[in-house]
Amino acid sequence: MIEVYIDGASAGNPGPSGAGIFIKGNGVVEKYSIPLGNMSNHEAEYHAFIKALEICIKNGYEIVSFRTDSELVNRAVEKEYVKNKHYAPLLEKALTLSKHFQLFFMKWIPSRENRQADELAREAIRKNN
């Protein structure tokens, strides 16, 4: 099984944002720090999730367990619903991508267990032009 730790971060709300993705399992360790431009923190969390899903699909991973410290994203995926309609297209895209896997899991974790993804997200903020 592949474990995928994701985090989105913004310097300001909205402000320069980044996605941090840390992947491990089956002898694999991958780190991604992806600048996202200007957006809110919640949008950055969704975009980090979508980018991670796309990376896992591209790499041919079939059994994935996603970990996030974003209660908003975790709850939305769990219920397949968002209150704020602004995030509905992002959730829809993520749910569609998640169907590509043989097994897909999503779990909320405390921030202290998501430090690597958080550091990568903060690094990505600094990469914005």
| Per-residue pLDDT reduced to its tens digit, 109-124 | 999 999 999 999 999 9
**Crossing angle for the helix pair 88-98 and 71-79, to the nearest 10 degrees:** 70
User: Cβ neighbours of residue 83 under 8 Å, at least 6 residues apart?
Assistant: none
Joined tokens for residue 16: 């320069």
Homologous superfamily of 2-127: Ribonuclease H-like superfamily/Ribonuclease H (3.30.420.10)
- pLDDT score of 1: 94
- Successive 10-residue mean pLDDT values, the chain, 129 residues: 97 96 95 98 98 98 97 97 95 98 98 97 94
Give the pLDDT of residue 129. 74
Q: What is the pLDDT of residue 13?
A: 87
Q: What backbone phi and psi angles, to 5 degrees, belong to 29?
A: -135, 120
